[in-house]
């Protein structure tokens, strides 16, 4: 399969499976519209004054670097510079820290009034900020000040590697769960981003990012269970689950791994071992007990925990995005189609927990429709 990085051609798996192209694109636009500009009980993006905006984590009633960086990535993919700039200005105004050991990072949780709930950073926000800013440079050109997008991106990546507490382990090249803790979160691993950082970061750090892309793909292979394909929320550097407050289980964070592997498969070609891991994941959800499996928490070996999951729509969406990797394997095609069909027939989530589910819904729909692209 051709690399989209080289060909600028992106798979539209919905179209490949026979869905109407006009309906696909109209639905893509409607998802964006609902999340950002829908009714108050649908959207979670809010504008402040003439030039700022933020995303609310509706389940926790705060603003997170995760959500702000996701909003910026969505905005640049959808070519909406106004939303992008509003969110970035709010983020730099209220979340960025220019003091202490975390100077150059962003506070991961901030109140709706802009007051920091914590001065600790979480690396997934930084990597998405940097990638979205680089894409903004390519789509709209660099501006001045904080809108000199590429400079802001390079500054973020410099801080990630050169602060007192770097966000990556500089020896094994793996992203940390938080800068001062030597464990990882498999869902933070986006090797397709690191491939691009290796082209656009400060020159002295480019080899690190190239190595990090390789290291992350190898890490994901050992973080995904060899039978079920499930991965823990937090994991040691050897891929084994890290038992911290039950985060050793396949739970909310974990779902993003399938999306990340699927998107990496489109941008930089499938990795056979990771494709097989996603094949196992889809087999687990499609064949073991279909209809029931999307409703529970699991140990990574597939043992069911009789507790309901928080984000069932997110899980359905990311299982479908895994098809971008597994569909390269003939034996996986039936399950891949089942996961995509289930996602297609699942509406956006409503209610207080809609933020996480619907962001992953948006990203998975973008990826499956050929709308989650590299800009270079």
Active-site choice (57, 66, 218, 279): 66
Cα–Cα nearest to 361, from 375, 346, 373, 351: 346
- 308: which strand partners? 296
Contact 124, 66 (CB under 8 A): yes
Q: 3-class secondary structure for 211-250? A: HHHHHHHHHHHHHCCCCCCCCCCCECCCCCECCCCCCCCE
Largest Cα–Cα separation, the chain: 55
Cα–Cα nearest to 120, from 132, 138, 102: 102
Placement of tokens 């990012």 in the chain = 209
For residue 35, give every residue at least 6 positions away whose Cβ sits within 8 Å of its Cβ, in sequence order, or none. Answer: 42, 43, 44, 45, 74, 348, 358, 359, 362
- CA of 171: how far to CAs of 174, 208, 267, in Å? 8, 10, 26
Q: Helix (H, G, I), strand (E, B), or coil: what is residue 110?
A: strand
Placement of tokens 């940097």 in the chain = 130
47 assigned to active site: no
For residue 337, give every residue at least 6 positions away whose Cβ sits within 8 Å of its Cβ, in sequence order, or none. Answer: 17, 323
253 assigned to active site: yes
Separation of alpha carbons 260 and 265, rounded Å: 9
Task: Count the helix, strand and coil residues of the chain and give each as a percent rounded to the nearest 5.
Answer: 55, 10, 40
For residue 132, give every residue at least 6 positions away whose Cβ sits within 8 Å of its Cβ, in sequence order, or none. Answer: 69, 72, 73, 75, 76, 84
Active-site choice (57, 218, 253, 357): 253
- 304: which strand partners? 298
Contact 130, 149 (CB under 8 A): no
Residues known to be catalytic: 66, 253
């Amino acid at each position: 399969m051709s690399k989209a990085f080289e060909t600028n051609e992106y798979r539209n798996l919905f179209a490949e499976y026979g869905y109407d192209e006009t309906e696909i694109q109209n639905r893509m636009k409607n998802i964006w519209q609902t999340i950002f500009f829908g009714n108050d009980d649908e959207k979670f993006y809010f504008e402040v004054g003439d030039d700022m905006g933020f995303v609310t984590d509706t389940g926790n009633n705060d603003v997170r670097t995760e959500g702000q960086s996701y909003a910026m990535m969505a905005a640049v993919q959808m070519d909406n510079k106004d939303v992008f700039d509003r969110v970035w200005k709010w983020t730099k105004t209220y979340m960025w820290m220019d003091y202490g050991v975390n100077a150059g990072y962003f506070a991961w949780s901030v109140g709706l009034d802009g007051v920091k709930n914590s001065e600790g950073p979480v690396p997934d926000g930084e990597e998405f900020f940097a990638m979205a800013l680089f894409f903004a440079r390519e789509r709209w050109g660099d501006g001045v000040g904080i809108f000199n997008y590429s400079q802001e991106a390079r500054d973020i990546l410099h801080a990630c590697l050169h602060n007192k507490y770097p966000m990556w382990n500089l020896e094994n090249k793996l992203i940390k769960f938080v800068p001062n803790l030597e464990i990882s979160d498999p869902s933070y691993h986006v090797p397709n981003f690191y491939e691009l950082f290796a082209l656009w970061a400060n020159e002295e750090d480019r080899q690190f990012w190239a190595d990090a892309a390789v290291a992350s793909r190898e890490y994901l292979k050992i973080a995904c269970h060899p039978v079920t394909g499930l991965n823990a929320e937090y994991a040691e550097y050897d891929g084994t689950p890290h038992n911290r407050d039950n985060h050793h289980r396949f739970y909310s964070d974990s779902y993003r791994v399938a999306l990340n592997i699927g998107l990496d498969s489109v941008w930089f070609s499938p990795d056979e071992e990771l494709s097989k891991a996603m094949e196992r994941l889809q087999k687990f959800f499609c064949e073991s007990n279909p209809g029931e499996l999307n409703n529970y928490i699991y140990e990574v070996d597939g043992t069911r925990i009789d507790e309901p999951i928080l984000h069932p729509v997110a899980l359905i969406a990311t299982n479908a995005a895994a098809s971008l990797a597994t569909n390269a394997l003939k034996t996986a095609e039936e399950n891949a189609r089942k996961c995509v069909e289930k996602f297609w027939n699942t509406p956006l989530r409503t209610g207080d927990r809609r933020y996480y589910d619907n962001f992953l819904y948006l990203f998975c729909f973008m990826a499956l429709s050929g709308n989650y692209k590299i800009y270079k």
